[in-house]
Amino acid sequence: MNENITQAVQGIPLNYYIWLSTALFVIGVLGVLYRRNAIIIFMCIELMLNAVNLLLVAFSAYHGDGSGQVFVFFIMAVAAAEVAVGLAILIVIYHNTRTTDINVLNKLKW
Amino acid sequence: MTLYAFYFLSFLAVLSALMVVFSRNPIYSVLYLVITFVCVGCHYLLLSAEFLFAVHMIVYAGAIMVLFLYVIMLLNLNKEDEAHKSNYLRFAAVISAGLLMMVVVAALRGAEASQVDFSTVSNIGKVKVLGNLLFNEFLLPFEIVSILLLAAMVGAVMLAKTHMKRTAEPTHKKNGRASVANQNITTNIKELTK
């Protein structure tokens, strides 16, 4: 079983994971720029975090060092905290302004 | 075989990530995001990171996605009449994202992945190894993360609570309970002095 997994890692070049993570990250950036719904923008930020997580896990596996995976674990905890607080803020904003459209929520824009 | 699995999972992940951005209904966006997260989790499995696979499924595909779905249903946003940016801005967004992709690809094109010793690869994703790392080398960050989660929980509860107060007392929109009590006292004093 372990030999199979090692061969699986060997069968896929590390560069492929770099391209995949880049693609996912860029799609996240595209979503942040493209959409106006604050919740969708939030989801795209999660997508970007996931792309970085995937790349960290790939590097960790290819280097045989577990620290990268521990780091991903911490990133997940921070992302969970961020989502909880962010969505609570969004709900409060929605109840005050009746919208989650970021073109309306521009009070902090100079 | 595993290469085909990699191609399939990558294709599915990128496709559903694109659908997250381009689908008009927020509910569909969330569901496509679930597919993306499951694909990323399967990539973790492919990289023999079993512990992270489990945590990823529980935290992302479980907790965070349920939170998103719950908020969308709570705010009743499952409609398709969302206003979109102007075509000009959308075109600019696609162009700048493409430029970013080009820059990153150009920067990473020459990078050659160094040859690595694979003798320990299959072990590092195990719970035992990661637990040893987490509770020896990374014990302090682990405890700090618990404080962060506590702070986030308190913050979320407080945000929801101020909102509950506002809906319960619509006449005193910006005041907390203390100032409302103060106003009650001042009106009482006024009535007494009459």
Q: Sketch out chain A's domains with CATH numbers.
A: 2-100 (1.10.287.3510)
Given a contact cutoff of 8 angstroms between Cβ atoms, the answer to whether A103 and B87 are in contact is: no
Residue A63 pLDDT: 80
Cβ contacts of B123 on chain A, cutoff 8 Å: 2
Domain count across chain B: 2
Are the beta carbons of A70 and B71 separated by less than 8 Å? no
Cβ contacts of B44 on chain A, cutoff 8 Å: 54, 57
Are the beta carbons of B21 and A84 separated by less than 8 Å? no
Are the beta carbons of B105 and A19 separated by less than 8 Å? yes
**Does residue B104 lie in a domain region?**
no
**Does residue B21 lie in a domain region?**
yes
Given a contact cutoff of 8 angstroms between Cβ atoms, the answer to whether B183 and B175 are in contact is: yes
Are the beta carbons of A84 and B97 separated by less than 8 Å? no
Q: List pLDDT tens digits, range A3-54.
A: 544 555 567 888 888 899 999 999 999 999 998 888 999 999 999 999 999 9
Domain holding B69, by residue range, is: 1-79
Residue B179 pLDDT: 58
**Does residue B129 lie in a domain region?**
no
B54 touches chain A (CB under 8 A): no
Residue of B nearest to A30 (CA): B97
Cβ contacts of B46 on chain A, cutoff 8 Å: 8-9, 12
Category of B104 on φ-ψ map: left (φ > 0), alpha (ψ -120 to 50) or beta: alpha
Q: Which of B79, B101, B123 is the last residue of a domain?
A: B79
- From A56's Cα to the closest Cα of chain B, the distance in A is 10
Cβ contacts of B125 on chain A, cutoff 8 Å: 61, 66, 69
- DSSP collapsed to 3 states, chain B: CHHHHHHHHHHHHHHHHHHHHHCCCHHHHHHHHHHHHHHHHHHHHHCCCHHHHHHHHHHHHHHHHHHHHHHHHHCCCCCCCCCCCCHHHHHHHHHHHHHHHHHHHHHHHCCCCCCCCCCCHHHCCCHHHHHHHHHHCCHHHHHHHHHHHHHHHHHHHHHHHHHHHHHHCCCCCCCCHHHHHHHHHHHHHHHHHC
* Whether ipTM exceeds 0.95: no
- Give every CB contact of residue A10 below 8 A, 6+ residues apart in sequence: B118
**Does residue B27 lie in a domain region?**
yes
- From A27's Cα to the closest Cα of chain B, the distance in A is 6
A54 touches chain B (CB under 8 A): yes
Query: How many CA atoms does the CB half-sphere of A69 hold within 13 Å?
Result: 33
Given a contact cutoff of 8 angstroms between Cβ atoms, the answer to whether A105 and B177 are in contact is: no
- DSSP collapsed to 3 states, chain A: CHHHHHHHHHHCCHHHHHHHHHHHHHHHHHHHHHCCEHHHHHHHHHHHHHHHHHHHHHHHHHHCCCHHHHHHHHHHHHHHHHHHHHHHHHHHHHHHHCCCECCCCCCCCC
Write down the pTM of the prediction: 0.82
How do the pLDDT tens digits run along chain B, 194 residues long? Answer: 788 889 999 999 999 999 999 998 889 999 999 999 999 999 998 888 889 999 999 998 888 999 999 998 888 877 766 667 788 888 999 999 999 999 998 888 877 665 555 555 567 778 888 888 889 999 999 999 999 999 999 998 888 787 666 666 555 444 455 555 666 666 666 666 65
**Does residue B167 lie in a domain region?**
yes
**Does residue B35 lie in a domain region?**
yes
Q: Which of B59, B79, B99 is the last residue of a domain?
A: B79
Distance CA A108, CA B10 (A): 38
Are the beta carbons of A33 and B56 separated by less than 8 Å? no
**Does residue B95 lie in a domain region?**
no
Are the beta carbons of B55 and A13 separated by less than 8 Å? no
Same-domain status, B73 and B143:
no
Residue B82 tokens, joined: 């969302």
Are the beta carbons of B90 and A34 separated by less than 8 Å? yes
Cβ contacts of A50 on chain B, cutoff 8 Å: 36-37, 40, 60
A7 touches chain B (CB under 8 A): yes
**Does residue B101 lie in a domain region?**
no
- Closest Cβ opposite residue B122 in set A5, A16, A17: A5
Please give the interface size between A and B, counted as residue pairs whose CB atoms are below 8 Å apart.
Answer: 250
Q: Which of B64, B79, B94 is the last residue of a domain?
A: B79
Assign residue B32 the CATH number of its domain.
1.20.120.1200
Cβ contacts of A25 on chain B, cutoff 8 Å: 104
